[in-house]
Structure 1
Amino acid sequence: MKIVEYPDREMLAIDLATQLAGELKMHLMAHETAALAVPGGTTPGAVFDALCAADLEWERVHVLPTDERWVAPDHPRSNGRLIRDRLITHRAERAAFLPLWAPAETPEQALAAITARIAPELPISVLLLGMGEDMHTASLFPGAAGLAEALAEDAAPLAVLRPDTVPEARISLSAPVLAGAMSKHLVLYGAGKRAALEKALTLPPEEAPVQAILQGTTVHWSD
């Protein structure tokens, strides 16, 4: 793990977007397509705003969420909606979007279909993650039903989790898929999350799920 500190969030977003675009270009020099996995939530918005303007062959980039709330694609809490609105636009509108959602009453009923959609994209080429102050990343929440299965070395590519602290069930890329990405970035804002990261280094993944993806990851931090 390497930590890069920035004087402000704007510089972090611009610099990180430049790095992500450069890594995608490098990957496309040797591969037909590149898989870019990104989070929802509020943290990556500014990065998306800069990245979507990058000059690269977006039609060869396949974008997927790291995790998804089990809500309709147009729901305000949908990670896919944020990604489509903030990233799959401008030059990046040519990218393909692979949602972690399919029409079904429960995520378990859709799991096979969604897995078939994303399995050809693995390993992930470039991964961007965030982290909560509870040390969760993607939808790998401490204490959540389904966490042990998602952390297992032989975990399936996708896991269904039902955290007590949030209103919806979640589908998430599993820990081995996240940890196995070819390039990994974690973006953090604020002293609280910096302290949570330091705490996570002392805990097992069962208590601090972000621990499972830190090896080889570049952490980008600004207050």
Structure 2
Amino acid sequence: MNRLDTSERFELIRHGEADAWIEAVANEMAESLNLDIRETGRARLLLSGGTTPAPVYQALAELDVHWDRVEVSLVDERWLSPNDRDSNAWLVRESFLKRAESAHFDPLVRVGKPIAECVYTANLQAQHSQSPTLAVLGMGNDGHTASLFPGSKDLGRALESTLPYAALDATGCPGANQWPLRITLTPHGLRKCRQRLLLLRGKQKLEVLKQALESNNAQLYPILNAIDMDGPKLRIHWCD
């Protein structure tokens, strides 16, 4: 049996095709949000950008959730205006918030504010909000998750931070493309989430995950910081 399917460090759920993957993830997210709404009256949702989760967000918005009781923010963000089409805020707004119109959205980047002030505001807001119901993560082919890029000069500081969010300069990191300045959820912030989902598509991502596990090096493969932490196991939903 494949060691990815027998790990005690995470749960890997394989889906036969994309539609089943989308439906299963959206339903799981809705169930988690509804549970928190029933228990506390509200829920908090942290979303990642990228093309992989966009169809899941579209499906989620159509499900039966009291969106007016849901606060939405981001796992990470490029140092771009929320109105920039390359920002994670723009993707979340287009794929999710335009359908779940009554949900409240808190972007990480505030137009006209320096990055240090945006990080301060994000941390203040996180500290005064309820713990996130769930965080949706992705993983790059370099093993990064959120904006925790291997090789970044700020990676060690972000990994050791005792605050939910940190600024990170990923200059020289190929996975950051042309957007090296980031605001990212830290492992400390991720640890506060009641549930953590990692959404993967394609065989190459499974190979990267296998390499990360074999390396056991969280600096080289930051995705390990989402796997090897206290609390509920990371749930990985994969389809080809």
TM-score (norm: length of structure 1): 0.94
Within a 5 Å distance, the mapping from 1:1-223 to structure 2 comes to 1-90=10-99, 92-104=100-112, 106-152=114-160, 154-163=161-170, 164=172, 165=174, 166-168=177-179, 169-202=181-214, 203-215=216-228, 216-223=233-240
Q: Distance in 2 between matches of 1:24 and 1:199?
A: 33
Q: What is the letter of the counterpart of residue 167 of structure 1?
A: Q
Aligned residue pairs, count:
221
Runs of 4+ aligned residues of structure 1 deviating over 6 Å after TM superposition are none
SS at match of 2:119: helix
8 Å CA contact 1:5–1:221 kept in 2: the answer is yes
Q: Distance in 1 between matches of 2:113 and 2:178?
A: 16
Task: Please state how far the C-alpha of 1:33 moved relative to its aligned partner.
Answer: 1.5
8 Å CA contact 1:104–1:110 kept in 2: the answer is no
% identical aligned pairs? 30
Task: Please state how far the C-alpha of 1:171 moved relative to its aligned partner.
Answer: 0.1
Q: What is the letter of the counterpart of residue 171 of structure 1?
A: I
8 Å CA contact 1:111–1:158 kept in 2: the answer is yes
Q: Distance in 2 between matches of 1:190 and 1:142?
A: 21
Alignment gaps of 5+ in structure 1: none
SS at match of 1:87: helix
Q: What is the letter of the counterpart of residue 198 of structure 1?
A: K
Q: Distance in 2 between matches of 1:40 and 1:47?
A: 12
8 Å CA contact 2:164–2:190 kept in 1: the answer is no
Q: Distance in 1 between matches of 2:239 and 2:119?
A: 36
SS at match of 1:201: helix
8 Å CA contact 1:130–1:188 kept in 2: the answer is yes
Q: Distance in 2 between matches of 1:103 and 1:178?
A: 25
Task: Please state how far the C-alpha of 1:180 moved relative to its aligned partner.
Answer: 3.0
Q: What is the letter of the counterpart of residue 6 of structure 1?
A: H
Q: What is the letter of the counterpart of residue 36 of structure 2?
A: H
Q: Distance in 2 between matches of 1:179 and 1:186?
A: 14
Q: What is the letter of the counterpart of residue 36 of structure 1?
A: L
Alignment gaps of 5+ in structure 2: 1-9
Deviations 1:148-171 (A, max 9, x none): 11111x432111111123322000
SS at match of 2:25: helix
Superposed CA RMSD in Å reads 1.4
With 158-167 and 1-10 compared, the bigger mean Cα shift is at 158-167
Task: Please state how far the C-alpha of 1:127 moved relative to its aligned partner.
Answer: 1.2
